[in-house]
Amino acid sequence: MKHTKLILGLLAAGMIFGLNAQNLVENSSFENGVDQWAPPSWKRPDGKIWLTPASDKANSQGAGGAASLRLDWTNKHICHIWYKKEIPLNGLKEVELSFWGKNVGYDKTNIIEITVNFPDAKDPKKRNISTGNKWNRSPKEWTNFSRLIQVPEGATKAKLCIRIHGFTSTKGTSWVDNVYFGAPQKKGNGQQAKK
């Protein structure tokens, strides 16, 4: 009887851990297109155009499949690509945000990043937390960006936004692949870079 209870307890703990370690982003490797990601729908008063993402089956990081999200940026664009679903945090106190990114063709510096927005966090200064490249270190090869984030007090949900800052560049192309947002992954379980 004791062994049965012990085994049931271990199974239940394993199931709870398995649920918490799952990726909360659907279609995170963009194998089924980019329909879950979109720019804002309102028209900008400054005349700039919201950049629309495209699916790219010819260029991917490799670990999650053969597709990625491609962003063909120009200085006439503003790039804020929102994940269409609010993500419930289900009591998580710490989350991991990671993605693979690559930039080519920018004539000046640029940043590609993903921002987590915690709309109901009590402290407004902790509502937006990002990870990505530094402005002067644009990744020309697939590069993994990862960050552990303490969930701010009061936060029960999150939103994700892919952003490109082109600064004084006139054009360039960026790719995003294998987005992960969820409970921190164990070391060594992350996706490996394409060789």
**3-state class (DSSP) for residue 37:** strand
Asked whether the beta carbons of 164 and 79 are under 8 A apart, the reply is yes
Of 8, 32, 162, residue with least CA distance to 99 = 162
pTM above 0.75, yes or no: yes
CATH class of 2-182: mainly beta
Distances (CA, A) of 2 to 9, 11, 12, 13, 65: 11, 14, 15, 16, 45
Q: What's the DSSP call for residue 12?
A: H
Tens digits of pLDDT across the chain (195 residues):
555 444 434 333 343 344 446 999 999 999 999 999 999 999 999 989 999 999 999 999 987 789 999 999 999 999 999 999 999 999 999 999 999 999 999 988 888 999 999 999 999 999 999 999 886 777 789 999 999 999 999 999 999 999 998 888 899 999 999 999 999 997 644 444 443
- Residue 41: how many CB atoms within 10 A of its CB? 7
Q: What is the domain partition of the chain in residue ranges?
A: 2-182
